[in-house]
């Protein structure tokens, strides 16, 4: 169903141009500096006061603020990450494994008909452009907000972390930038994150526990290895036990009808250049998603019980290490930001917004734990096509319309009107 004609007018050409500009700057995690400067210039062009928060050398959050006219006005933040899951300049083998739409040399971004293509088009540079488009639309209408409108372009959101020998800025993600943001004055009453939800409201998402399951063995020459326990072979038994544990875990920890996903993400053992020796170690790295209201230690305890069975059955005692925890997020449907998005979506599309829950994470968990009621609502590629690296322009324009309506609604209210609990 097409949007109503009386919804806010979005400058489609400028929106697409801004998205392409951002996509055409390569910005994998750890190398967000250039795209941050570009985004800052675009927000300054909107008349926003821009602060560059240096999270670490070469990596800065971009914080643009359109000041409201009343101290008691409600403040809305649009929050989005500047980094991409992979580099646009990755090898062609990696890019092709992710999606067939990527180019192997600049310009990375391009448009065909109603589609934008390129690294970050889907997740989530198009949404960053939509934030700017929403503010531009409000300014063109001479809207004067009571409260502030904040746009935060943050570094280090992508799901990755430092572990073992993998150290450096390129591994510092999982809310790295937003954690710095909220600790250094970046706050609001409400926040919308434009992660690619397909114009659906995601008021809750899962948390993550990353585990390292390790086995230690003896280093013996191949010629003398007969009868020596091989930890790579032993890890097969660990994997088999996990395969038995996963379905039961998913059944017991389901949330909103969704089973928590578990991924055997990596395995390392021995040395490929020293195959003439038995492996002295073998490590398995596992990502276990978990829903509200559980604690990471609940998940570790459950997994530890499964591993104990290995000792009983096979005399194998793997070491279990929890090396990353990322919290779940959950916002009640009665919160004002949920109701505002629902109303705006219905205005644009003439139907209620669909509510979803996903196993992927977002910085909403960081924001909500610092008193900012945060939800996800964003554009994405169309249905029935490969979505990675694509953005459907009509979808993006409609999303910017919703953002504009919600921003006007929330920032025209006082904090008391939006049901915030005010002390004093």
Asked if residue 374 lies in contact with residue 191, where contact means CB atoms within 8 angstroms, the answer is yes
- Exposure string for 224-233, b = 16+ CB within 10 A, e = fewer: eeeeeebbbe
386 falls in which pLDDT band (50, 70, 90)? low
Topology, domain 209-321: Alpha-Beta Plaits (3.30.70)
pLDDT reading at 3 higher than 60: no
For strands 390-392 and 262-269, give the pairing: unpaired
Mean pLDDT of 247-264: 96
Task: State pLDDT tens for residues 11-56.
Answer: 999 999 999 999 999 999 999 999 999 999 999 999 999 999 999 9
Mean pLDDT of 221-234: 93
221 falls in which pLDDT band (50, 70, 90)? very high
Q: How far apart are the first and last CA of the chain?
A: 47
Q: What is the pLDDT of residue 424?
A: 41
Its pTM stands at 0.94
The single residue listed with the structure tokens 């530890």 is 304
Task: State pLDDT tens for residues 49-90.
Answer: 999 999 999 999 999 999 999 989 999 999 999 999 999 999
Q: What is the pLDDT of residue 383?
A: 57
Write down the mean pLDDT value for the chain: 94
Task: Express as a percent the part of the chain with pLDDT over 90.
Answer: 91
The structural domains of the chain, with segments of one domain joined by +, span 12-206+328-411, 209-321
Q: In whole angstroms, what is the distance from residue 79 CA to residue 19 CA?
A: 16
Topology, domain 12-206+328-411: Aminopeptidase (3.40.630)
The single residue listed with the structure tokens 């990471």 is 296
Give the residue from 40, 32, 21, 34 showing the smallest Cα distance to 84.
32
Q: What is the pLDDT of residue 419?
A: 78
Q: What is the pLDDT of residue 381?
A: 76
Q: What is the pLDDT of residue 120?
A: 96
Task: State pLDDT tens for residues 359-370.
Answer: 999 999 999 999
């Amino acid at each position: 169903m097409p949007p109503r004609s009386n919804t806010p007018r979005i400058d489609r050409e400028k929106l697409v141009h801004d998205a392409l500009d951002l996509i055409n700057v390569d910005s994998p995690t750890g190398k967000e500096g250039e795209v941050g400067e570009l985004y800052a210039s675009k927000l300054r062009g909107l008349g926003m006061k821009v602060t560059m928060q240096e999270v670490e050398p070469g990596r800065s959050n971009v914080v643009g603020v359109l000041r409201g006219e009343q101290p008691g006005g409600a403040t809305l933040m649009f929050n989005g990450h500047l980094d991409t899951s992979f580099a646009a300049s990755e090898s062609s083998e990696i890019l092709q494994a992710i999606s067939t739409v990527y180019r192997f040399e600049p310009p990375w971004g391009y448009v065909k008909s109603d589609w934008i293509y390129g690294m970050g088009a889907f997740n989530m540079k198009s949404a960053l452009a939509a934030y700017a488009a929403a503010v531009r639309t409000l300014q063109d209408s001479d809207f004067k907000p009571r409260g502030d409108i904040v746009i935060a372009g943050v570094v280090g959101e992508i799901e990755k972390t430092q572990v073992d020998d993998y150290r450096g800025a390129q591994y510092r993600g999982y809310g790295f930038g937003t954690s710095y943001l909220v600790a250094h004055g970046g706050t609001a009453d409400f926040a919308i994150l434009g992660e690619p939800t397909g114009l659906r409201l995601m008021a809750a998402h899962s948390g993550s526990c990353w585990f390292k399951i390790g086995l230690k063995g003896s280093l013996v020459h191949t010629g003398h290895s007969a009868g020596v326990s091989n930890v790579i072979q032993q890890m097969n038994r660990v994997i088999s036990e996990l395969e038995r544990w996963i379905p039961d875990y998913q059944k017991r920890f389901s949330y909103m009808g969704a089973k928590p996903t578990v991924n055997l993400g990596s395995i390392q053992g021995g040395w490929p250049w020293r195959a003439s020796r038995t492996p002295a170690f073998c490590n398995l790295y596992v990502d276990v998603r978990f829903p509200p209201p559980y604690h990471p230690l609940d998940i570790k305890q459950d997994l530890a019980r499964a591993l104990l069975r290995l000792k009983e059955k096979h005399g194998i005692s793997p070491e279990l290490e929890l090396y990353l925890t990322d919290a779940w997020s959950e916002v009640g449907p009665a919160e004002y930001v949920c109701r505002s998005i629902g109303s705006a979506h219905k205005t644009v599309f003439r139907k209620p917004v669909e509510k979803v829950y996903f196993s992927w994470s977002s910085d909403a968990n960081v924001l909500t734990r610092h008193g900012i009621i945060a939800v996800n609502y964003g554009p994405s590629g169309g249905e029935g096509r490969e979505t990675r690296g694509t953005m459907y322009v009509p979808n993006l324009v409609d999303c910017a319309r919703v953002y504009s309506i919600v921003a006007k609604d929330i920032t025209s209210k006082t904090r008391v009107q939006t049901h915030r609990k005010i002390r004093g």
